[in-house]
Amino acid sequence: MIKLKRAYEPVARSDGVRLLVERLWPRGVSRETLHLDGWIRDVAPTTALRKWFDHDPAKWVEFRIRYFRELDSRPDVWRPVLSAAQRGSVTLVYSAHDEVHNNAVALRDYLQAKMRRRRRMVRSR
């Protein structure tokens, strides 16, 4: 199971494995406060894509297309997250104010699609 949580929300036991999926550290939050199991900078969008998107909801569809292309070219960065999610709860921690249009939402959708494909492949064997 893949969950999402802003870096500014309190930690909960139900979070499971907590992974920060941002290139930049969240402002005003200490490392101790986040209680992370990992910080996976490379799974976040590239700096160029992040700056182009600039959290503009009008660019959301195109952002997802471009971000998914980046993820397709770097399976080594997202496969560990997928593996952890198949074993238990994983919470993708992000810092964006917009809870609908951000890289963690897109990453969760990407990973869930990969998990569905994998399940279908296993069933068809």
pLDDT at 29: 93
- 10-residue mean pLDDT series, the chain (125 residues): 96 96 94 93 96 96 98 96 93 96 97 83 62
**pLDDT given at position 124:** 61
Q: What is the pLDDT of residue 115?
A: 87
Predicted local confidence at residue 122, as pLDDT: 63
Range of the domain at 43: 2-124
pLDDT, residue 117, reads 80
CB–CB of 11/18 below 8 Å? Answer: yes
Domain count within the chain: 1
**What is residue 116's predicted lDDT score, i.e. its pLDDT?**
83
